Amino acid sequence: MNLQVIGCSHHQSNVAIREQLAFTEQQVPSFLKLFYDRFPESEAVLLSTCNRTEFYAAAQKPDLIPSQKEMIEFLATERGLSFSDVNGDLFAHSDRDAIEHLFSVAASLDSMVVGETQILSQVKRAYQLAVESNQTIPLTHQAFQSAIRVARRVSNETDIHSHRVSVPSIAICVLAKQIFERLDNKRILILGAGEMAEETLTYVRSEGGKDIWITNRTQSRAEELAGKFDGNVASWESLEEQLAKADLIVSTTGATEPVVTSAMFDRVEKARNQKPMFVLDLAIPRDIEAEIGDRLNVYLYTLDDLQKECEKNRKSRQSQYPKAVKIIGQETDQFFAELRRRSSGSTIAQLRQQADEAKNAELTRLMNRLEGLSDAHRAEIEQSFHRLVNKILHPPLESLRDDSVNESGSLLDALKKLFQLGD
């Protein structure tokens, strides 16, 4: 398999880079279409979440897959950037390392909050969008279906997901409680009405939050979410008024530009009379302009600020981590063993076909020269040719089967070259 992944995540890229490389779900199909226009023999999947953007590409042959440099240039160009703008902030993995990385991501071992479950649904959705863009992606199909199965195995065989702690839970149950001793007497404003907003509200309610207001550009979605949590709906047009009244603000929209600008906050600040405000910006790209965090009595936290608390979470799950990593290693070995088995099976079939064609050609030539042979003699000659071919092929084919369990695949490659077999 020829598989590559390039991308950025919270591990090595700050929020400024991540938001420049982020994609909305609506932007993914056009990105994939442009990729296939340029690299029609490759396969691709784009995974973009609040903490990572990962671009996977695969191809049957090495010369058909874009290089890592080409992938970085393509991704950067589509985000209006240059190679030099992002190259130092991106990781790149190939083949086994790429598969191991994908399995770790799907199983949430690579997440900011180890054990969170949202990433698996995001991996599934990324694969679904890839299938909708190109129905024939057998290599990435095999990789992503395996990743989903591996994530389930990690969940079933370890406690890494037990008492799971997500980014919203840390934001509300840890950081918000550091600013406010209690939430039952605070006015809480949620910007956005997607999955992150819903999960955040679960923790707001568990911590006693009652005075909840939800605003979203699509009001029907805000009304639906408010109904689940006994909240109130505010029109998007009244955003400034709602900001002026709120104590705790959580922003989770999918906007591509800040929804709360510094200029807007100038007006909001005057109406607040220096009342303390706790702001959680859980969006990528960021919803709240960073300068607002410098204002008096404003406590602004972004996803990057959650990193420290999330690291504590990682350490608390450390006892389960080695077991999960071991599963990832086992599954990666199994994935490539299966690939080699399939590849060797195809090579064996080609070699047998090639030998049978040569055998049949020689038999035809011989039978045409030996006139008057009885049917019994003809059958005996054919059987002798068949046994001879099998005896000649048996040792190399047995060696090939044994070699298929090894990672090198050197014998398979040598056999293809010796007998001029295709992939």
Ramachandran category for residue 119: left, alpha or beta (phi over 0 → left; psi -120 to 50 → alpha): alpha
Pairing of strands 298-302, 187-191: unpaired
Q: Do the Cβ atoms of 274 and 296 come closer than 8 Å?
A: yes
Helices (H), 163-283: 167-170, 177-179, 195-206, 219-229, 239-245, 262-272
What is the distance, to the nearest Å, from the Cα of residue 81 to the centroid of all Cα atoms in its chain?
Answer: 22
- Kindly write down the DSSP assignment for every residue of 376-408, as one continuous string: HHHHHHHHHHHHHHHHHHHHHHHHHHHHTTSSS
Cβ–Cβ under 8 Å, residues 348 and 400? yes
DSSP 266-333: HHHHHHHTT--EEEEE--SS-SB-GGGGGSTTEEEEETGGGHHHHHHHHHHTTTTHHHHHHHHHHHHH
User: From CA 135, how far away is CA 419, in angstroms rounded?
Assistant: 34
User: Is 50 in the active site?
Assistant: yes
Could you say which of 8, 50, 173, 310 is catalytic?
A: 50
β-strand 232-233 against 187-191: which pairing, if any? unpaired
255 Cβ contact list (under 8 Å, min separation 6): 283, 285, 287
Catalytic residue positions, numbered: 50
